[in-house]
Amino acid sequence: MDEVIISLEKGTTCSSWNYSGHRLATASLDGTLCIFHSTHPSSSSSFTCTTKFKVHEGSIVKIVWLPPDYGDAVACICADGTLSLWEEVAEGIDNIQWKQCKVFDKTPGQVLDIQFGVSALNLKLVAAYSDGQVKVFELLDPLDLTKWQLQAEFRNVIDSVSKFGKASCVTASISWNPQRGNGQQSNFVLGFNSDIPQLNSCKVWEFDEDHQRWLPVAELATPEDKVNQVYAVAWAPNIGRPYELISVATSDGISIWHVGSNPEIDGRLWVEKVALLSGHCGEVWQMEWDMSGMTLASSADDGVRLWQSNLKGVWHEQATLEPTT
């Protein structure tokens, strides 16, 4: 039972669903952003493009929706590495428009990936740059998306004194621990696709409230695959598991990691690689978990694959969705 719910224009480069799956933002080569709405407000049956606006002169490479506690807003990363935020505002019921609310300052490095994390106190934005830098920004006023403050800046390395040359990163992938909840610590996982092995491997970063700094608390790589470039990472929702689940896609395949929920005596989290899934031909573009954290979807040139663990805890391919053309 196939049904087309949206037809995307030629030149569409990326897309992103909002939190409820009732709106889709798509972006194109010419820097235009489209917002699709489901025609019936409470269903997700068919979609029409209700708003279209120019974000940038060049191509847009990634769109990320902000969490719903901060309104209907998206962040756009453009091919030249600029990062801007746009939000939907309305004076009256009919006067809905999208306004640019922030353009982040240009830096020597281009923005490769960003992700938003909701902590108990505020909204955080992690951005990974092509020179290997990682920046964390904080929103100062929850009702005003124009005011951001740089909270931290670091590199994706375990040992902060390690020395290496100038990094050149092609892509980066960030995923926040998706769990909402009071008292939840801020943590995210990050990996690079670069020419510096130390930067590449996925690290779990956690904010140390006592010393007000970000610390790497786990590294998701075995000694053999430490050098591998990371294409995508995804932190699974945890609805009650005693451990966290994180998937990491590299040239070897997709590895599934169990990560301890609480730090051990040395402050680190225990990690265990439980599966290495192969099946995709070529680079994995993106990975996404379902809301229960039991099914992983991965996409590559050859289509989308769904992965699950069976009753014996063995991960396997559950389904394949192949591109039609």
Binding site for other proteins (CB under 8 A): 19-22, 41-44, 68-72, 87-93, 95-96, 141-144, 180-182, 237-242, 290-292, 294, 309, 311-313
Closer CB to other proteins, 19 or 270, in the complex: 19
* Closest separation in Å from C-beta 64 to other proteins: 17
Nearest to 191 by CA among 241, 117, 132, 136: 132
269 vs 251: CA distance, rounded Å: 25
Q: Which two tokens stand for residue 77?
A: 């990363």
The Cβ of residue 311 has, within 10 Å, a number of other Cβ atoms equal to 5
297 vs 286: CA distance, rounded Å: 8
Closer CB to other proteins, 170 or 319, in the complex: 319
Answer yes or no: are the C-beta atoms of 274 and 294 closer than 8 Å. Answer: no
* Closest separation in Å from C-beta 207 to other proteins: 19
* Closest separation in Å from C-beta 304 to other proteins: 17
Nearest to 112 by CA among 233, 18, 221: 233
50 vs 149: CA distance, rounded Å: 33
Closer CB to other proteins, 85 or 127, in the complex: 85
Closer CB to other proteins, 241 or 268, in the complex: 241
* Closest separation in Å from C-beta 99 to other proteins: 10
Closer CB to other proteins, 52 or 147, in the complex: 147
Closer CB to other proteins, 93 or 161, in the complex: 93
65 vs 67: CA distance, rounded Å: 6
Closer CB to other proteins, 7 or 95, in the complex: 95
* Closest separation in Å from C-beta 217 to other proteins: 21
* Closest separation in Å from C-beta 275 to other proteins: 12
Closer CB to other proteins, 67 or 279, in the complex: 67
* Closest separation in Å from C-beta 248 to other proteins: 19
* Closest separation in Å from C-beta 287 to other proteins: 18
296 vs 115: CA distance, rounded Å: 19
